[in-house]
Amino acid sequence: MNPSFPPRAQQIPVVVLAGFLGSGKTTLLNHLLRNRSGNRIGVIVNDFGAIDIDAMTVSGQVGSTVSLGNGCLCCAVDASELDGFLETLTGPAARLDVIVIEASGLAEPQELVRMLLASDNPNIVYGGLVEVVDAAEFGATRARHPELDRHLAVADLVVLNKTDRVGREEQARLQDTVAAASARAGGAAAVVCATYGRIDPELLFDPALRPDSEEKERQLSFEDLLLAEREEQDGDGHTHHLHAAYDSVSFTADVPMNPRRLMGFLDSRPRGLYRIKGFVDFGSGDRANKYAVHAVGRFLRFEPQPWKRGEPRATQLVLIGSGIAAEALGKELADCRESGGPAPDPAQDAAHERSMWGVLRYVRQPGDDA
């Protein structure tokens, strides 16, 4: 089996930001806009009230679009018109890298996720559902809105916000409670703690990579100045140590991966493992292509991309999550190599072939396991 696929244009991740009124969604959104790692962000506000985004008021008029002055755009839309706005924001003229949908505080976030997964727009890819929870008001919110457990079940990442308002022991208890509520309802969300919505943007999107012509001569942005000021205040260059809230594991293999073993690993990936990104070499399973992996929460997608001439053939993956066992994950991935476990006997060739078709199924039907 040696299929050949045309290269696909870079797709824009669409992140859904949800949470009940007062949980801190807009604060988190403002934080992302101020710490966007050079990305141009499109913001879709699925609400009808007046929303203040980074000191700019976006009136709740459906169809209005406002430039935020830093390459980012914001618009207020009705959910029924979401596809139309995604079409506009993913057009070449917008030049966006990431789109964030801020759901109404009373919205059913799973409906927005379903719309994204069912979208025919080839320029977008699901970037995850982030549920923001007020740590200090979690019990009261849960009693008032029992549907919160349903929201936690479909979340890929839960941000336990306003943890400065609870003690260390209460924070740990809340983390366990939120994770357990998600698990009981069939979810497996990673849980990270935050104050003032300050999470590391790399949990949601990668730093922008610009052509040299765009980077060589550009003026300092407010983002550059803010980062410089924070590094000066912190003294060690760590911006509020945001990375301390999660773990990152890097894996490299210079021998091909066994598709059957890798799919087994991915299907049973542990709770708290939020993102997986990188490229996989399946060797003789498909010599023409490497496979880009995009996983967020339970959503998993493979995309074949032709090997470049002279490109070293290797698997390179980065795994991001909260409370994950880095050493154990590295060992499990090492066991997924063709040489990492018992060699398949000839009777398993058919299973190997089916495994490769299983990988390709994720390319053609990425919403199946979301």
Q: Which of 74-78, 84-88, 167-171, 239-243 has the lowest mean pLDDT?
A: 239-243
Judged against a pLDDT cut of 60, whether residue 31 lies above it is answered with yes
Q: What is the pTM of this model?
A: 0.77
Judged against a pLDDT cut of 50, whether residue 317 lies above it is answered with yes
Judged against a pLDDT cut of 80, whether residue 1 lies above it is answered with no
Task: Indicate the average pLDDT of the chain.
Answer: 78
The model's confidence at residue 171, banded by pLDDT at 50, 70 and 90, is very high
Question: Which among 42-56, 63-77, 330-344 has the top mean pLDDT?
Answer: 330-344
Judged against a pLDDT cut of 70, whether residue 214 lies above it is answered with no
What pLDDT shows up at residue 156? 92
Helices (H), the chain: 25-34, 82-89, 109-118, 138-144, 148-154, 168-184, 212-215, 222-234, 259-267, 326-334, 349-364
The answer to whether the CB of 49 falls within 8 A of the CB of 76 is no
Section 299-306 average pLDDT: 91
Partners of residue 53 on adjacent β-strands = 56
